[in-house]
Structure 1
Amino acid sequence: MKRNNTFFRSVWFIAISGLGGFFLSLTGLSIGWMIGTFLAAALLSFLKPSLLRHDASKKGVPKYWLFIGQCILGIELGQKINLSFLHIFKEYWMTIILMLLLSIFFSLLSGFLLWKYSKTDMLTSFFGTAPGGLSAMPGIAEEVGANTAVVSIIQTMRVFLVILTIPIFVSLWASNPVNHVTLPAQTVSPFEFEKLLWTLVLIGIAYGGYLLGKYLKFPAPWLIGSMVAVAVVQSFGSLFMGHDMVSWWPHVVITLSQIFIAASIGSRFHKSMFIGLKQTLIVAFLSTIGLIFSMIMCAIFVSKVTGIALITAVLAFAPGGIAEMTTTSVVLNADSTFVIAVQVLRIIIVCVILPPFFRLLNYWEHKKHLSSHASA
């Protein structure tokens, strides 16, 4: 009976939070469902904790909602590793790897500055500035003990700053800037039985990836394990068949993923998370501006050396979201295939490599702190 009570309270909480996402999505913002739901859930966790469990102010909705959202997101990202992606990577692999390493380096530098010049702990600083996106980073950060609220706020700040600055920059740079742009409609493959079968295969593969990720002690195995497993099967399956393997994957599924993840993160907010955030937000804002500027400079250099159009290079390496940068590339007639290839590969690298690296750094710092106390 108590379990059913918790389930229905969670459903109500997620549904009400999702209304915030719906209203923000009306603005046309691609990640509006995510940010709107996140803000509404955070507000509800402050004002109406009775919608959650009795100890809701700390634990929030049950974790399985977050896991479902992460698994959906993992399948979505894994499916993008197709023949087009492999062709682009084969042609520009050295440029892509160099730029991804530079973007990760600058994000680490941004996190280091945030850690040194604010009261934010090391893990929270690095997860907050990692270019993995609002959908992925807070969920992983929570599992390793970082301050989810700060990570979410910094990630949201970066998304907004990138959306506000990068499209304006590339529009001004374009020789024929686009005026009164209408965003392209979301295309969804029509329903076919074969595509539904492939969807079921990918769901099974994603679950197998989760089990393997859990066995190998991956952070956020529902996201990382499913993403890597689906990417491997999708790419090899497409190579074997000679064409892209397409699943039936309506856009509403991705919307549900954003709602589940955002509501789960927002439901765990409590007031103590926000104590002393003023300095943190100032440093995070300045370091994010520096990160965006650095990536624009790098994109200009790559464009000059390789001949890739500047608009394409800037959108590909900008530390924003996949949906936002890809949509902008379509609107401005950039190479959207290249943009999505680079953005997806960076998220995969960030999600797979950086969390263990951050934990190792935190372990070294903790060990150094204990040694200094012992010697004193």
Structure 2
Amino acid sequence: MNDLRSPDQSTPTRALGFRRRGLRWTALVLLSLGGWAAGESIGLTAAGLFSALIVAATLAVTGWGPSRVPRPLGKLAQGVLASAVGLMVHRETIAALGSLWVPVVSIAAATLAISVAAGALLALHRDVDAVTGSLSMTAGGATGLVAMARELGGDDRVVAVVQYLRVALVVLTMPMIVTFGFRADTGADTVPDAGGGSEWYVAAAFLALFIVGGTAVASLVRLPAPATLGPLAVSAGFELGGWSDAVTVPPMLMTAALILIGWQAGLAFDRASLRAIGRILPYAAALTLLVGAACAGLGVLLAHLTGASLLEAYLATTPGGLAAVLAVSASTSSNVTFVAAAQVLRLVIMLVTTPIMAKVFAHFGSRRRRRAYETPTVRSGDTAEPGTSRSPRSR
């Protein structure tokens, strides 16, 4: 008896599989775009990423989502986001710091140290490893950190949830703190849009150079997360050198990149991961609030060192929500240039140093685990044969 299916029998099955995958991708795209439009209408920060993450996670958990985002598309999204950050490093913005760059960089370094400490505390949780903890608690660059999490060996689902918990807390509390804590008048006009920009094909050519060239160079010199750090370094270099003046990432391309990053993290969810993240969330929320309080303390120190007002220093050290920070800064007639320079500098420092530190944590963590498994544990009165060992308690 022949059990093999004939081509005539397998063709309908294959066609059904293609149709089913097509329907899943169609549902994912349409629901994500609907969520993005709804988020934009209420002024939600990174609405494309939020909607894509929620929709993709929901479809994945219910079994109605596609299996994963193709790897090349994920790399492309990382490159677009990194290039956008690099193009924010304007010469005029950095020059505006003048003699204040030393205290601003020092405060950014202190913020990084606080983030590292919080990440180490989060990694004490049995469901979080060192890389995931460090990426989750870094105060700045949420989209970039989520984008590079998988490439660095972290759990991008946990990183996404904890990072956007931080952004949500910042965006929700900042207007209330500014209004009721500082008694600031938020009725000033916002900074007008500079407009202009380059033609789309010029921007596309520069982006291709940043992404392809930057990733290739970063891979060649073995930088961690080359798809992020390479385009970031090249685009920032071009911007500081004056070779990419007026080049901006088209808004729709940025939205598409955010949606892809949201899909990448969301489609990796399942019921087990949801239960694990539910166990992590209260611990992560408490640490996030502690990081926010520590950054507010650094703001007081920054005001003392630079002569800026307490409000400007608070906005300059707020751990996340860059677009919201600049909007609030403009609406309160604060020194937007100082706030923007401090925030962008902190953002770049976080995105450049965090992958390196995550790799260091992963290296020492693996060495520690190897040593624990290789070292025999001998209790009093027991003897161990040479070369034998006891396994440590799993986390």
Range of TM-score over shorter length: 0.7 to 0.9
Which residue of structure 2 lines up, in the alignment, with residue 313 of structure 1?
313
- Asked whether the equivalents of residues 198 and 247 of structure 1 are also in contact (C-alpha less than 8 Å), the reply is yes
CA distance in 1, matches of 2:62, 2:336: 42
SS class of match (2:256): helix
Which residue of structure 1 lines up, in the alignment, with residue 291 of structure 2?
291
- Asked whether the equivalents of residues 14 and 263 of structure 1 are also in contact (C-alpha less than 8 Å), the reply is no
Q: Does 1:231 align with 2:239?
A: no
Which residue of structure 2 lines up, in the alignment, with residue 222 of structure 1?
227
**Runs of at least 5 residues in structure 1 that lack an aligned partner in the other structure:** 239-243
Which residue of structure 1 lines up, in the alignment, with residue 176 of structure 2?
168
Q: Does 1:187 align with 2:193?
A: yes
Q: Does 1:78 align with 2:96?
A: no
Query: Which range is displaced more, 153-162 or 129-138?
Result: 129-138
What are the residue-to-residue correspondences of 1:115-194 with 2, within 5 Å? 115-117=123-125, 119-178=127-186, 184=190, 187=193, 189-190=195-196
Q: Which amino acid aligns with 1:80?
A: M
- Asked whether the equivalents of residues 212 and 225 of structure 1 are also in contact (C-alpha less than 8 Å), the reply is yes
How big is the shift at 1:175? 4.7
Alignment partner for residue 107 of structure 1, among 115, 131, 135? 115
SS class of match (2:123): helix
Query: Which range is displaced more, 209-218 or 294-303?
Result: 209-218
Q: Which amino acid aligns with 1:96?
A: V
How big is the shift at 1:129? 0.4
Which residue of structure 1 lines up, in the alignment, with residue 33 of structure 2?
18
Q: Does 1:45 align with 2:60?
A: yes
Query: Relative to 1, partners in 2 of residues 1:331 and 1:286: Cα closer, same or farther, differing over 3 Å?
Result: same
Q: Does 1:260 align with 2:260?
A: yes
How big is the shift at 1:113? 1.5
Which residue of structure 2 lines up, in the alignment, with residue 345 of structure 1?
345
The CA deviation string for residues 218-255 of structure 1, in whole angstroms up to 9 with x for no partner, is 333222211110100111126xxxxx811254422322
Percent identity (aligned): 21
What are the residue-to-residue correspondences of 1:59-98 with 2, within 5 Å? 60-98=68-106
Q: Which amino acid aligns with 2:242?
A: G
Which residue of structure 2 lines up, in the alignment, with residue 241 of structure 1?
none
Pick the structure with more helix per residue.
Answer: 1
Which residue of structure 2 lines up, in the alignment, with residue 197 of structure 1?
202
CA distance in 1, matches of 2:215, 2:319: 27
CA distance in 1, matches of 2:198, 2:156: 40
CA distance in 1, matches of 2:342, 2:264: 28
CA distance in 1, matches of 2:176, 2:99: 29
CA distance in 2, matches of 1:327, 1:176: 14
Query: Relative to 1, partners in 2 of residues 1:126 and 1:201: Cα closer, same or farther, differing over 3 Å?
Result: closer
Q: Does 1:213 align with 2:218?
A: yes
How big is the shift at 1:37? 1.8
The CA deviation string for residues 39-70 of structure 1, in whole angstroms up to 9 with x for no partner, is 11111112243x42xxx1xxx12122222222
SS class of match (1:333): coil
The CA deviation string for residues 14-57 of structure 1, in whole angstroms up to 9 with x for no partner, is 443232222122211232222122111111112243x42xxx1x
Query: Which range is displaced more, 209-218 or 272-281?
Result: 272-281
CA RMSD after TM alignment? 2.8
CA distance in 2, matches of 1:295, 1:66: 32
SS class of match (1:275): helix
CA distance in 2, matches of 1:374, 1:149: 32
SS class of match (2:291): helix
Query: Relative to 1, partners in 2 of residues 1:152 and 1:196: Cα closer, same or farther, differing over 3 Å?
Result: same
SS class of match (1:135): helix
* TM-score, normalisation: structure 2: 0.82
- Asked whether the equivalents of residues 35 and 262 of structure 1 are also in contact (C-alpha less than 8 Å), the reply is yes
Q: Which amino acid aligns with 2:271?
A: K
**Runs of at least 5 residues in structure 2 that lack an aligned partner in the other structure:** 1-13, 377-395
